[in-house]
């Protein structure tokens, strides 16, 4: 299958803010000690990462010899005034409840709308695919955020599903297998493959 191109999506490791179940968009947070023990036996021809430190650090943990291209467009949604807050902090806020019911139409205060977020991510994806096609890569890995992965799966998974129907877990990656023609035409991939991450005993 000479025209097969694999694009792997990896979510950053669990952070201290993730453990609190706080909204973590453009703010950053240290990875947990457990996250530093993650490993994979997979390798790719090229690597791309969100420019936030939790993703750059994860890329170095999973792919120690990699020098990922940093792509700012791959950042998580900007949650504005809700950054660092939890559901319990916000559950009495009417604006927040409206957003939970309709994330597409309602925007976090001083944050990004869903349209702004997805347009930005789409621009970052295009930048990466331009490199993939120009360099004739057969594989690459993208280290990014849960919301970004969910959006890319709604756009490129073999079957069309809603944003919340997809999972973006910290302990596994997802390989999207494209034909070169589908990649050139911004079409959907042909299959999804899970990439379980291991935990090093002495990491």
What's the number of domains the chain is made of? 1
Domain harbouring 14, CATH code: 3.40.50.1240
Q: What is the mean pLDDT of the chain?
A: 95
pLDDT of 75 over the 60 cut: yes
| 52 within some domain | yes
Tell me the whole-structure pTM to 2 decimals: 0.94
| 95 within some domain | no
**142 and 7 in contact (C-beta within 8 Å)?**
yes
Q: For residues 63 and 189, give the distance between their C-alpha atoms in angstroms, rounded to a whole number.
A: 24
| 84 within some domain | no
Average pLDDT over residues 55-67: 96
Residue 202's pLDDT is 58
Q: Which domain holds residue 70?
A: 4-76+119-199
pLDDT of 203 over the 50 cut: no
Residue 137's pLDDT is 97
| 97 within some domain | no
| 152 within some domain | yes
**154 and 163 in contact (C-beta within 8 Å)?**
yes
The CA-based dihedral angle spanning residues 140, 142, 148, 151, taken in that order and rounded to the nearest 10 degrees: 10
| 38 within some domain | yes
DSSP 97: H
| 90 within some domain | no
| 85 within some domain | no
């Amino acid at each position: 299958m000479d025209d097969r191109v694999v694009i792997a999506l990896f979510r950053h490791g669990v952070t201290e803010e993730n453990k609190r179940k706080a909204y973590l968009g453009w703010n950053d947070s240290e990875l947990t000690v457990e996250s530093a023990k993650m490993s994979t036996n997979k390798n790719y021809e090229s690597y791309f990462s969100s420019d936030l430190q939790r993703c750059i650090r994860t890329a170095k943990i999973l792919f120690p010899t990699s020098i990922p291209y940093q792509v700012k467009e791959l950042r998580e949604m900007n949650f504005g005034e809700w950054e660092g807050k939890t559901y319990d902090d916000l559950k009495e806020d009417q604006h927040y409840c409206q957003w939970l019911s309709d994330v597409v139409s309602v925007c976090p205060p001083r944050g990004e709308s869903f349209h702004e977020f997805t347009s930005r991510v789409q621009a970052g994806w295009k930048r990466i695919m331009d490199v993939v096609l120009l360099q004739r890569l057969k594989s690459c890995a993208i280290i990014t955020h849960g919301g970004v992965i969910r959006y890319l799966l709604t756009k490129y998974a073999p079957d069309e599903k809603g944003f919340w129907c997809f999972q973006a877990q910290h302990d596994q990656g997802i390989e999207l297998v494209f034909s070169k023609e589908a990649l050139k035409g911004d079409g959907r991939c042909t299959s999804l493959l899970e990439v379980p991450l291991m935990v090093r005993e002495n990491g």
